[in-house]
Amino acid sequence: MIRPIRSNFHFNLFMNLCKFLTYAGLVCFIVACNEIELEPSIAIKPQPLDSQEIKIIVDSSLDFSNYKAHTILDSMSMDNPNEKLYGPKGNQSILFFTDNESGEITALVQLDSASSEVNITEETVTIGVVGLAPMFPSLTPQQKWDLIQGIQNEQVYSLLKGTVGEILKNKEPIFSGKPEFISQLLNVNSYILKTYFPEFNQNGGRINVGKEDFPSFVKKDNGLTVFNQVSSHIFLEFIPNSGGNPVSHILEPRPINPSFQSEIPKIERATLALKDDCYSVKINQSNGEVVSKNVVRMGTILTSAFLDAVIGIGIKGCAPELTAKIATKLGITLAEATNVSPTELLGEATKSVAEVVFQALLSGDCAIITNKLGIVKFVASKANLYGNLYKAAEFIYNASPAGPFAISLIPSLRIELAEKLQLYEGNLIEACLKVVNDGSINQEYSAGTELLVKINLDTLSQYGDWKKSGFKVTWSVPPLNGTLSLGSTVTDAEGRASVVWKLPNEPNAVGTLSAEIKDKEGDHIAGSPLTFQTKITAFDSLNYYNSEMPGEWEDNGSTKLFFREDFTGTYSSDNSLWRIEKNLTYKNTSGSDYMLLVRHLGTRRTYLYAIKPNNKLLFLNAFLDYDF
């Protein structure tokens, strides 16, 4: 057992040793601190600034003899009826009791800033224990009030109250490690989650975020908006494929309590100043600045969990340097914590934060707290309790609001998403696009021929279904290269667009047509401009195109000439139509009538089509009415 320490030298030596205590040693720390002899109470002690006298009324069924009462400002023996106790005035705080022999905390109740009288009953102590639930500090003041009023009719509260009653009756530590106490406090925590944090559940922690979750972050709102779907910081980066500087941003965590912030953190395309382009998009938590922010936020939450219950204003009641000290300490802890689970990491972080808070309390960084050793006992006991809760919690989200930050700091679990997308006219396309030729024209045509030229939109990559219609295609031909039916068209639902190109009537070496799709900045999408070229030849008396066979001339003994070509087709019995499976164009450039002979080899029937001078007959995968 550690002997009483009376001199400042011995006290400082003891506290330096305490800095190196392990987590398991926190219990020893509490006992050791109890051995420190405080200055004996005096009959009349000065009243601290901004304080009020606290009058304690203990229920007759409870035995609080040999106990000491503590506030953040003062302490008093319960066996001395003439001694006064002072607590903060105007701040929500806590009143707790320690056993004079063991030093263990035996009871705690909330101090109402509006009242100087405190009743100690089984009910008020149970309400105080409810405040130990990990999610309790994340509630708003109104939610805390509503919780206390509403939970008292619930079974989870009744069971906890029964256990607290037994602890008080047996004069046992209120920060109990008994399995039933830990289980009941976790059930209270689950009740808080269910009632006030409906979205912060098992999936809210999002231990695993896979490739399929990318669309839940990047949506089409206002052209393109990125939402943070996890309760920790994320790094966002857009890298333009056409070159230029990447655009990056760090999104704040999704709030676990919608009452504090109802809107999910987001950033829109306009704010990011993204131009039309194809982008490689990264969403991750490995970025150094994001790691630092998540470390600080985790430390702040854990510190507030220790201090909010004590002084009601959390880390703000201590020196600003405390945040930096906690971040430094956690950085060392994380570097040493390898191959650990989120719960184990959270446990190590809790120990580290507790050590920094101990030092801050004892060194005077938290100037509002004058009962330093008493509050150190409280923080150490709460750290031990959290360790037991972490071990018993089925999911880390049910153990602490710092859970999502612990998850984000484990390399194998942090978010790492990457996809490619397109902005076109300021709107999100779930793919990077390219324009392609669908092979609709051949290498050679006769002058004056009309061609149906088509293009398709295809993808370089895609991560979801994308709208293929509405892309503007601009068509153009150089002088003396013929005419177009339209100067521009738009793609249809299949991503296709077409135009009729009439070749010039005079033979030309090569005819050229261009198709281009540009974004709103005037830049081409991939594959644009697309160029079509064909050789333009002189007319024959009777021309055929898109034919794989040279054909034959036949003389049927009459004054008419016939052109013959064999091809196959498909017969439709529903409407007695014959479908030709190729495009055929026959043009009569003579001054007399020509006849086109179509003979059906199956039925041996022959069909004649008259072609007037300077006219043509065009078959484009169309149905021919043979009237079988």
DSSP 8-state code for residue 254: P
Report d(CA 205, CA 230) in Å as an integer: 7
- DSSP3 helix / strand / coil % (the chain, rounded to 5): 30, 30, 40
H/E element holding 11?
Answer: helix 8-18
pLDDT of residue 284: 95
Query: What would the DSSP string read from start to end of 171-194?
Result: T--SS---HHHHHHHHHHHHHHHH
Q: Counting every residue, how long is the chain?
A: 628
Q: What is the mean pLDDT of each run of 10 residues along the chain (628 residues)?
A: 32 38 38 41 71 93 95 92 88 90 94 84 96 89 92 95 96 93 94 83 54 89 94 95 93 82 87 95 95 92 78 56 83 83 89 88 77 88 90 79 89 90 94 89 86 93 91 95 95 94 85 94 93 79 32 35 44 44 53 57 54 58 36
User: Domains in the chain, start-ordered, CATH in brackets?
Assistant: 45-197+299-331+346-383 (no CATH), 204-286+414-420 (2.60.40), 432-538 (2.60.40.10), 552-625 (no CATH)
The partner residues of 120 in beta bridges, in order of sequence, read 58
- Tell me the backbone φ, ψ of residue 136, rounded to 5 degrees: -60, -45
Q: Kindly list the distances between the CA atom of residue 10 and the CA atoms of 2, 14, 378, in Å, as whole numbers in the listed order.
A: 11, 6, 22
Nearest to 594 by CA among 574, 572, 616: 616
- Alpha carbon distance, N-terminus to C-terminus of the chain: 112
User: By C-alpha distance, which of 596, 588, 595 is closest to 614?
Assistant: 588
Tokens of residue 352, six digits = 């580290």
Structure confidence at residue 311 (pLDDT):
59
pLDDT for the residue 421: 96
Which amino acid, one-letter code, is at 194?
K
Report the C-alpha dihedral over residues 112, 113, 114, 120, rounded to 10 degrees: 30
Query: Closest by alpha carbon to 21, among 374, 380, 324, 382?
Result: 380
Task: Indicate the helix (H) or strand (E) that contains 168.
Answer: helix 155-169
Quote the tokens at residue 86: 């002072």
Tell me if 514 sits within 8 A of 529, measured CB to CB: yes
Closest of 105, 597, 563, 470 to residue 310, by C-alpha = 105
pLDDT at 622: 38
Distance CA 138, CA 149 (A): 17
Strand boundaries in 318-379, DSSP class E: none
Residues 6+ apart with CB under 8 A from 153: none
Structure tokens at 530: 């697309």
pLDDT given at position 246: 96
Query: Distance of CA 114 to CAs 48, 89, 90, 252, Å?
Result: 18, 8, 7, 36
Those residues whose C-beta lies under 8 Å from the C-beta of residue 602, and which sit 6 or more positions away, are: none
Q: Residue 450's beta-bridge partner residues? A: 502
Structure confidence at residue 598 (pLDDT): 58
CB-based contact 109:125 (threshold 8 Å): yes
What pLDDT was estimated at residue 564?
44
- C-beta of residue 552 within 8 angstroms of C-beta of residue 308: no
Contacts of 243 (CB under 8 A, 6+ apart): none
Extract the tokens encoding 100: 């004079």
Beta-strand (E) ranges in 32-104?
Answer: 51-53, 55-58, 67-70, 75-77, 86-88, 93-99
Long-range contacts of 483-491 (CB under 8 A, 24+ apart): 484/513, 491/457
Distance CA(202)–CA(396), nearest Å, equals 8
Judging by beta carbons within 10 Å of its beta carbon (0-12, 13-18, 19+), is residue 203 exposed, middle or buried? exposed
Q: Which two tokens stand for residue 262?
A: 């109802």
* Cα angle for residues 599, 600, 605 (degrees, 5° grid): 75
DSSP 520: T
Taking CA atoms, 541 is separated from 594, 599, 613, in Å, by 10, 21, 10
Distance CA(356)–CA(351), nearest Å, equals 9
Q: Are 452 and 486 contacting, i.e. CB atoms less than 8 angstroms apart?
A: no
pLDDT attached to residue 596: 59
Closest to 41 (Cα-Cα) out of 7, 5, 89, 74: 74
